[in-house]
Amino acid sequence: MTDKYAKIVSKGLGKDVAKRLGLPQPVELRRHQPGAPLIDGPVLVNGDSRGADDLATTLLGWGLDVRRHALPKEKLGAIIVVLDAVQHPEDLGKPVLTIGASLRDLAPNGRVITLSRTAGSASGPASAAARQGVDGLLRSLAKELRAGATANGLLLDADLATTSPSALGALRFFLSGRSAYVDGQFLTISSSSGSLPFDAEKPLAGKVAVVTGAARGIGAAIARTLHRDGAKVVLVDVPAAGDHLAAVANEVRGTALQLDITRDDAGHRIIDHAVERHGRLDVVVHNAGITRDRLLANMDERRWQSVIAVNIAAQLRINEALLASEHFKERPRIVSVASTSGIAGNRGQTNYAASKGGVIGMVRLTAPLMESFGGTINAVAPGFIETEMTARMPFVIREAARRANSLRQGGQPRDVAEAIAFLASDAAGGISGEVLRVCGQQLVGA
Ligand code: NAD
């Protein structure tokens, strides 16, 4: 679906009027194109710790144009702020004010990325205060950036190195156009597991991935993105969506499995199909979801139960089958689609928010169950995404929801798909039990 307002205010008279009236002026976001550079322009690595030096050396090895100090008037593609050694809130001022001075030189669609440590692994109140302070400052900075630029942070657990595989994997994701609609967010790296791909364009080469709800919308975009990244894809959807499912499956040269995921045997059907047709199963993306909105005062049992059944109960049952299967033991990945409604709440969506909050709880407690065999499970929480679901919203509510984020626009299904593809890759092996919002930094709610 097209965002006509964004087109009108992007040039000519519309642009002038929007500027004069102080109206939102969304810009076209830099999205990943195969073969495109990771980032356009020099990358400033700020910080004087050993972790900053090591990171700068690694980025030089990637062929990036790295600076340790900003040059006057030079446009920067990205600013990376390494805060891994801060021990007290008073330590934050110098590095943070230094990047403040460089922000005017940040190019459109540029990136600010912080690397710091989790507050939970701090040794005392002062270092916890400094680490938690990074959270507040990054989220505020993301709200100040303009022209499609984003700010996101990596949180390293305990004493993990700034160059641990998933720190580098997440850094690549945040620098690239794959994270176009991720803004004001953190990813926690909890272990040194994971590895960067041999071919950055095919990080899922050799993997077999299942996507539920793949006949249309976000699910179809996930299937296309996983295929682009080298995976063989199994596309699952209800029999009623069979024609659309077959069309997307043909397009991505995958196989279609007509299946209602609420069936008791859904997990086994998925495993059997993947193994019989493709010889293995590496990734499961729980994307299928439904809404049956009503104020709670008007909610009936059928609406409540059907949303819980599809959006969370089916995932729990399928995961049980996956975890019990000998075919899902080689560093497998589960990525589940939650929603910002499950975090911040949304009027008329008590059932949906209960199911999506449920996804987040499920992911946190399933993560330790997958650790012993190198498996990970994470959730992605989309905000306002341009799909048939959001196209059905009344005009005024839709327009308000679309602009109520730092990037002043809705996301595309492919933005959600890119985050899922990253979490499904070997490069994210050190990230588990996390929820990554793909919401342009929604301004409403938590
Ligand atoms: P959509 O309605 O366009 O597509 C959902 C797909 O899931 C459909 O093809 C449908 O047939 C399938 N499905 C439904 N029930 C099923 C079942 N029992 N078994 C198998 N397949 C089933 O929705 P979408 O907008 O693409 O959303 C995809 C996911 O993203 C959902 O989990 C949704 O809750 C979530 N989400 C969407 C948005 C948004 O803005 N569109 C925002 C946050 C979260």
pLDDT in tens, 145-199: 999 999 999 999 988 999 999 999 999 999 999 999 999 999 999 999 999 998 9
Residue 321 CA to ligand 1 center (angstroms) comes to 22
- Confidence grade of residue 1 (pLDDT, cut at 50, 70, 90): low
Query: What residue owns the CA closest to ligand 1's atom 19?
Result: 260
Average pLDDT, the chain: 94
92 found inside a domain: yes
Same domain, 45 and 14: no
Same domain, 15 and 59: no
Write out the residue range of the structural domain in which residue 14 sits: 1-29
- The lowest-confidence range among 26-35, 218-227, 308-317, 418-427 is 26-35
C-alpha–C-alpha distance, residues 231 and 378, integer Å? 19
Residue 294 has pLDDT above 70, yes or no: yes
288 lines ligand 1 (CB under 6 A): yes
**Residue 446: predicted pLDDT:** 46
- Confidence grade of residue 8 (pLDDT, cut at 50, 70, 90): confident
Instruction: Please say which residue of 189, 216, 243 terminates a domain.
Output: 189
Residue 3 has pLDDT above 80, yes or no: no
Same domain, 57 and 2: no
390 lines ligand 1 (CB under 6 A): yes
Residue 269 has pLDDT above 90, yes or no: yes
Same domain, 309 and 396: yes
**Residue 445: predicted pLDDT:** 56
Same domain, 215 and 157: no
Residue 288 CA to ligand 1 center (angstroms) comes to 4
306 lines ligand 1 (CB under 6 A): no
Same domain, 305 and 333: yes
77 lines ligand 1 (CB under 6 A): no
**Residue 243: predicted pLDDT:** 98
Residue 414 CA to ligand 1 center (angstroms) comes to 14
Same domain, 368 and 232: yes
Query: What residue owns the CA closest to ligand 1's atom 39?
Result: 385
C-alpha–C-alpha distance, residues 98 and 91, integer Å? 12
202 found inside a domain: no
Same domain, 212 and 304: yes
262 lines ligand 1 (CB under 6 A): yes
Ligand 1 pocket: which of 290, 388, 416 to mutate (most atoms within 8 A of CB): 290
201 found inside a domain: no
Same domain, 12 and 72: no
Please state the pTM of the whole predicted model.
Answer: 0.96
- Confidence grade of residue 444 (pLDDT, cut at 50, 70, 90): low
Residue 287 CA to ligand 1 center (angstroms) comes to 6
The domain that holds 286 is classified in CATH as 3.40.50.720
Q: Which atom, in ligand 1's list, is nearest to the CA of 286?
A: 32
444 found inside a domain: no
- What sign results for the dihedral spanned by CA atoms 214, 215, 220, 223? positive
Same domain, 178 and 212: no
Average of pLDDT values for 224-252? Answer: 98
Same domain, 35 and 142: yes
203 found inside a domain: no
195 found inside a domain: no
- Given its phi and psi angles, is residue 261 left (phi above 0), alpha (psi -120 to 50 degrees) or beta? alpha
Among 142, 177, 184, 171, which Cα is nearest to 29's? 177
**Residue 394: predicted pLDDT:** 86
Ligand 1 pocket: which of 211, 237, 388, 420 to mutate (most atoms within 8 A of CB): 237
Residue 208 has pLDDT above 80, yes or no: yes
Q: Which atom, in ligand 1's list, is nearest to the CA of 217?
A: 26
446 found inside a domain: no
196 found inside a domain: no
Same domain, 237 and 152: no
339 lines ligand 1 (CB under 6 A): yes
Query: What residue owns the CA closest to ligand 1's atom 1?
Result: 217
Residue 212 CA to ligand 1 center (angstroms) comes to 9
Residue 293 CA to ligand 1 center (angstroms) comes to 14
290 lines ligand 1 (CB under 6 A): yes
- Say how many domains are in the chain: 3
384 lines ligand 1 (CB under 6 A): yes
220 lines ligand 1 (CB under 6 A): no
Question: Which residues are known catalytic residues?
Answer: 352
